[in-house]
């Protein structure tokens, strides 16, 4: 059996296959998809992710509402001028996450990973770590398969929809996918990669979905930055050997229950949370 619907099943398949990415590829082959075609499509996804970051960094980009766009350029400039705190890698990751999310808000082409609203987390984690550590694009493609395995389990066992489970289902899932991918890139054991995903879910559990004006702009684009920061720190926990004290599958189940318990006003209806806050007028202070 090469299919899986739980993290534990994925771990067992990965041990037999030699890696998480190989186990996920085997599942693709089991479903009838050619392995090389699966690799080709994942490589194309990586290319689109890189293009979305580059496009989002355009200082002149603006969303339909005008509320976002050009801000990732400002953030990256501050990082490169050594004005920010936390180091260059985290600064770049933050700027890249914001850039991809701004690209989406400005109607550019992105990869929904797992959704459009959370599209910045995974590419930002991958590209910032690639710049820091020198990983090849081929290694990043393998990491994307690892990420997709985690994302599939969450989609099956819980939700990746903000309307159904809050932003924990979108940016939370993206952070879990990215955390597992980064831990895998770093050579962490299979169980540790899944622990990384578990730490990320645990730390974002309960996050509401509250788009201002019903648009996937504010606070969505900024939550991509939070998501990549969570992913990197969750990966570091797992890489260092710190273990989850709960089964990751049960954490995903808890995520599902929490999502169902969120009131409708906090699940993408635009009625609660930040969506209910007063907006500054043009003449108000920023």
Angstrom distance (rounded) from CA 178 to CA 65:
29
Does residue 2 sit within a domain?
no
Distances from the Cα of 45 to the Cα of 23, 36, 69, angstroms = 19, 14, 23
Nearest to 142 by CA among 2, 17, 230, 238: 17
Per the structure, how many domains does the chain have?
1
β-strand partners of 209: 267
Looking at the domain assignment, is residue 221 inside a domain? yes
Has residue 193 been placed in a domain?
A: yes
Residue 282: inside a domain: no
Chain segment 220-247, per-residue pLDDT in tens = 999 999 999 999 999 999 999 999 999 9
pTM for this predicted structure: 0.97
> What stretches of the chain adopt beta strand conformation (E)?
none
Per residue in 31-68, pLDDT (tens digit) is 888 999 999 999 999 999 999 999 999 999 999 899 99
225 with 128: CB under 8 angstroms? no
Residues 212, 218 contacting (CB under 8 angstroms): yes
- Yes or no: say if 52 and 118 are a contact pair by the CB < 8 Å rule: no
Peptide bond into 114 cis (omega under 30): yes
The answer to whether position 130 is within a domain reads yes
* Alpha-carbon gap, residue 237 to 195, rounded angstroms: 9
Whether 285 is covered by a domain: the verdict is: no
Q: For residue 67, count CB atoms less than 10 angstroms from its CB and return exposed for 0-12, middle for 13-18, buried for 19 or more.
A: middle
> Could you tell me the residue range of the domain that residue 144 belongs to?
7-274
Distance (Å, rounded) from C-alpha 272 to C-alpha 13? 42
User: What's the pLDDT at 284?
Assistant: 59
Q: Is residue 286 part of a domain?
A: no
Q: Residue 8: which of 182, 257, 258, 246 has the closest Cα?
A: 246
Q: Is 1 within the bounds of a domain?
A: no
- Distance in angstroms (rounded) separating the CA atoms of residues 219 and 231: 18
Confidence of residue 285 (pLDDT cuts 50, 70, 90): low
Tokens representing residue 16 in the block: 């037999």
Q: In the predicted model, is pLDDT for residue 1 greater than 50?
A: no
Place of tokens 């082959």: 29
pLDDT band at 2 (very low <50, low <70, confident <90, very high): confident
Q: What is the dihedral of CA 146, 147, 148, 150, to 10 degrees?
A: 90
Residue tagged 């710190």 (tokens): 242
């Amino acid at each position: 059996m090469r299919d899986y619907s739980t993290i534990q099943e994925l771990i067992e398949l990965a041990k037999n296959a030699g890696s998480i990415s190989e186990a996920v590829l085997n599942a693709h082959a089991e479903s009838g998809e050619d392995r090389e075609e699966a690799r080709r499509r994942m490589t194309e996804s990586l290319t689109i992710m890189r293009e979305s970051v580059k496009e989002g960094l355009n200082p002149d980009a603006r969303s339909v509402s005008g509320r976002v766009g050009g801000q990732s350029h400002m953030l990256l400039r501050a990082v490169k001028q050594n004005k920010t705190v936390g180091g260059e890698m985290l600064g770049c990751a933050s700027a890249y996450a914001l850039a991809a999310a701004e690209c989406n808000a400005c109607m550019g082409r992105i990869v929904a990973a797992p959704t459009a609203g959370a599209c910045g987390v995974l590419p930002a984690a991958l590209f910032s770590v690639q710049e820091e550590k020198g990983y090849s694009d081929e290694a990043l493609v393998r990491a994307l398969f690892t990420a997709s395995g985690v994302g599939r389990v969450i989609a099956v066992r819980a939700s990746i929809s903000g309307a159904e489970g809050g932003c924990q289902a979108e940016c939370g899932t993206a952070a879990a996918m990215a955390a597992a991918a980064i831990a895998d890139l770093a050579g962490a054991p299979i169980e540790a990669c899944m622990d990384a995903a578990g730490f990320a879910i645990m730390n974002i559990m309960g996050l509401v979905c509250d788009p201002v004006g019903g648009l996937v702009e504010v606070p969505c684009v900024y939550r991509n930055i939070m998501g990549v920061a969570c992913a990197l720190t969750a990966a570091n926990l797992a890489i260092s050997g710190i273990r989850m004290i709960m089964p990751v599958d049960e954490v995903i189940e808890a995520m599902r229950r929490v999502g169902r318990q969120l009131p409708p006003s906090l699940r993408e209806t635009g009625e609660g949370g930040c969506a209910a806050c007063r907006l500054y007028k043009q003449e108000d202070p920023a």
